[in-house]
Amino acid sequence: MEYLYEKDLRRMKLLILESRRHHSATIEIAAILGIKPQAARKILIEECDMLFLENLPARCDAARAKGNEIEQKLGIHLLTQATHLISQDAGQKAVADVMEKIERGVEREIALEEGRAGILELIRS
């Protein structure tokens, strides 16, 4: 006997992410990571369960205004608290790395881009 919860639920997860509020949250996550919305959707489908995905817009709303400027530009609270795509420790390390690069004289935007690339690598690993 095969139960529904044992089947592949990717299609159902995709239907959740196609709603208007979920779509806008996915676009925001994609913009932070510098990837296409389809790639962000794929990551969310692979990493999150259905209940988590259902609550994604509310979680994003709560996490959006938290943190300092660098944390907001890197989307740290969105990626650590709202989506759990990276751990709190990894998020704080990414912020510390970006701040260290800025203090060493690296241009702010370049440091942020390198930070985003590092975060995306963490998510994909």
> pLDDT value at position 26?
95
**pTM surpassing 0.85?**
no
> pLDDT value at position 6?
55
Residue 66, CA distances (Å) to 39, 106, 114 in order? 25, 25, 22
> pLDDT value at position 8?
73
Question: Quick one: angle between helices 20-33 and 108-124, nearest 10?
Answer: 120
Angle at 24 between CA 108 and CA 91, to 5 degrees: 40
Point out the residues of the chain with pLDDT beneath 70.
Answer: 1-7
Give the number of other CB atoms < 10 A from CB of residue 122: 16
> pLDDT value at position 68?
87
- 25-57 pLDDT tens trace: 999 999 999 999 999 999 999 998 888 899 999
The Cβ-side half-sphere exposure at 10, using a 13 Å CA radius, reads 6
Single-letter amino acid code for the residue at 10:
R
Phi, psi of 34 (to 5 degrees): 75, 35
**Domains defined for the chain, CATH in brackets:** 7-124 (1.10.3070)
